[in-house]
Amino acid sequence: MSGLVLGIETSCDETAAALVDEEGHVRSSVVASQADLHARYGGVVPEIASRRHLELVSPVVETAFEEAGATLEDVSRVAVTQGPGLVGALLVGLSAAKALAWARGLPLVPVDHLRGHVATLYLEPDPLEPPFTCLLASGGHTIVVAVRDRAGFEVLGSTVDDAAGEAFDKGARLLGLAYPGGAELDRLAREGDPEAFSFPVAKVPGLDFSFSGLKTALLYAVRELGEDGLEARRADLAAAYQRAIVRALVGRLRAAAEQTGDRTVAVVGGVAANSELRAALSDARFAPLALCTDNAAMIASAGRYARPLVSPGYLALDAYASA
Ligand code: KG4
Ligand code: ZN
């Protein structure tokens, strides 16, 4: 076995490592989530995330090798998330990747996290060929992009305030669900009536998104119901709130595809796991469920198409916080 790409991802609260071969077969993908650690704070605490990454990165990389039945000798390049994300968290993965690559004189490929999410679609067993129009909706980002080749994309629209995943998490919190509440809200919504409340879909010009008004509308609805009223209507609120987010996402993706003329549309990022969004876009290509939220297989996949830096020129490479 040779020519494996080792991927490492530590941009937020998942410590992840994966081995992917040049054709895009995932040999292993290990994700250690820190979500429980941050739940009691209601969000990711950067300093805690960095420290936990430091503890987890070596065992997670080792497990990725074990599960693939491979060693560092089988690796031809190391791909690592350079940004955007929490700088302290990113630096842990970046340092680990530099050390592993430099020790063996391997090339290092710095990968943009957002390109990583899109590169999920290039993995076997059903790799997608550009051109296509893609919605990337996660906890940190919401953009719609035109993909012309596997090396990158062109941004057509983005959120002017909260990301879609952030809207899910903030809504979940208002409904009393634990952080990160997107998946839980998705489950609760299945028991509710989406027509029971009418939440507005923000009208933003062009292909941009806005979710902060929706969050405020939910806040007012929750306040109006009071504690007892809320308990009885939680599922309805979840269903109506989710419906508004899904409508906004579907509307923008469709409008973007009309603009690009692409026949293929795709969805990636944590929110691509949402069951209502998947049902509403039955013709779209979705990242596999297990690879919607942050993972390193997507980073290794993107590492196949980004420019590798030769040893030891990458040792001074820095992480970046925003795109
Ligand atoms: O891509 P990701 O792991 O992290 C970022 O790069 O930001 O996305 C995490 C986000 C969280 O906001 C989480 O609540 C949301 O994805 N999410 C969902 C679902 N599963 C995860 N949102 C809605 N429905 C879901 N089923
Ligand atoms: Zn992500």
Enumerate residues lining ligand 1, CB below 6 A. Answer: 12, 138-140, 165, 168-169, 180, 182-183, 186, 269-271, 273-274, 293-294
**1 pLDDT tier (thresholds 50, 70, 90):** very low
pLDDT digits (tens, 9 = 90+) for 17-52: 999 999 999 999 999 988 888 888 888 889 889 999
Residue 211: predicted pLDDT: 96
Residue 195: predicted pLDDT: 97
- From the CA of 245, give the closest atom in ligand 1: 23
Sort 36 into a burial class: Cβ within 10 Å, 0-12 / 13-18 / 19+. exposed
pLDDT digits (tens, 9 = 90+) for 76-135: 999 999 999 999 999 999 999 999 999 999 999 999 999 999 999 999 999 999 999 999
Q: Tell me the mean pLDDT in the region 242-250.
A: 98
Tokens of 174: 């208002």
> In this structure, are strands 154-158 and 14-21 parallel, antiparallel, or unpaired?
unpaired
Say how far residue 259 (Cα) sits from the centre of its chain.
25
pLDDT digits (tens, 9 = 90+) for 294-316: 999 999 999 999 999 999 999 99
Do 7 and 120 meet the contact criterion of CB atoms below 8 Å apart?
no
Give me the residues paired with residue 315 across strands. Answer: none
**CA–centroid distance, residue 192 to ligand 2 (Å):** 28
- From the CA of 181, give the closest atom in ligand 1: 14
pLDDT, averaged across the chain:
96
- Site to probe by mutation for ligand 1, drawn from 292, 295, 299 as the one with most ligand atoms within 8 Å of Cβ, is 292
Residue 39: predicted pLDDT: 81
CA distances from 224 to 80, 168, 288 (A): 47, 20, 39
Do 111 and 81 meet the contact criterion of CB atoms below 8 Å apart?
yes
**CA–centroid distance, residue 294 to ligand 2 (Å):** 5
Q: pLDDT above 70 covers what percent of the chain?
A: 99
User: CB under 8 Å to 260, separation ≥6 — which residues?
Assistant: 131, 133, 146, 156
**CA–centroid distance, residue 225 to ligand 2 (Å):** 34
Residue 36: predicted pLDDT: 82
Do 273 and 286 meet the contact criterion of CB atoms below 8 Å apart?
no
Residue 42: predicted pLDDT: 80
202 pLDDT higher than 90: no
Helix/strand/coil for 77: strand
Report how far residue 220's alpha carbon sits from residue 225's, in angstroms, rounded to the nearest whole number. 9
Taking Cα atoms as reference points, which of 121, 6, 132 lies closest to residue 60? 6
**2 pLDDT tier (thresholds 50, 70, 90):** low
Residue 297: predicted pLDDT: 98
Report how far residue 111's alpha carbon sits from residue 8's, in angstroms, rounded to the nearest whole number. 10
**CA–centroid distance, residue 116 to ligand 2 (Å):** 8
Report how far residue 272's alpha carbon sits from residue 139's, in angstroms, rounded to the nearest whole number. 11
